[in-house]
Amino acid sequence: MKILVCLDGSEKSKKVLEKASQIAAGCQVNDLAVIHVYEPRLDPTSPSWGSRSHSLTDEDNAYMCRLREQEKEERQKYLQEAVKFFEEKSLKARAILKEGHPAHTIVSTATEEGSDMIVIGSRGLGGLKKVFLGSVSSAVIQEADNCTVAVVK
- Residue 7 covered by a domain: no
- What CATH number does the domain containing 138 carry? 3.40.50.620
The contacts of residue 112 (CB under 8 Å, 6+ apart) are none
pLDDT of 81:
97
In a domain, 2, yes or no: no
Range of the domain at 147: 16-45+55-152
Q: What is the DSSP string of 62-91?
A: HHHHHHHHHHHHHHHHHHHHHHHHHHHTT-
DSSP three-state, residue 5: strand
* Domain-located, residue 4: no
Residue 42's Cβ-count burial label (10 Å; 0-12, 13-18, 19+) is middle
Is 10 inside any structural domain? no
pTM: 0.83
Q: What is the pLDDT along the chain (153 residues), one digit of tens a residue?
A: 999 999 998 888 999 999 999 999 999 899 999 999 988 765 555 555 554 445 778 888 888 889 888 989 999 999 999 999 999 999 999 999 999 999 999 999 999 999 999 999 987 555 544 444 468 999 999 999 989 999 998
Does 20 reside within a domain? yes
**Domain total in the chain:** 1
How far, in Å, CA of 76 to CA of 110, rounded? 19
User: Is residue 121 situated within a structural domain?
Assistant: yes
Give the C-alpha separation, 21 to 119, whole Å.
Answer: 10
The confidence score (pLDDT) of residue 132 equals: 41
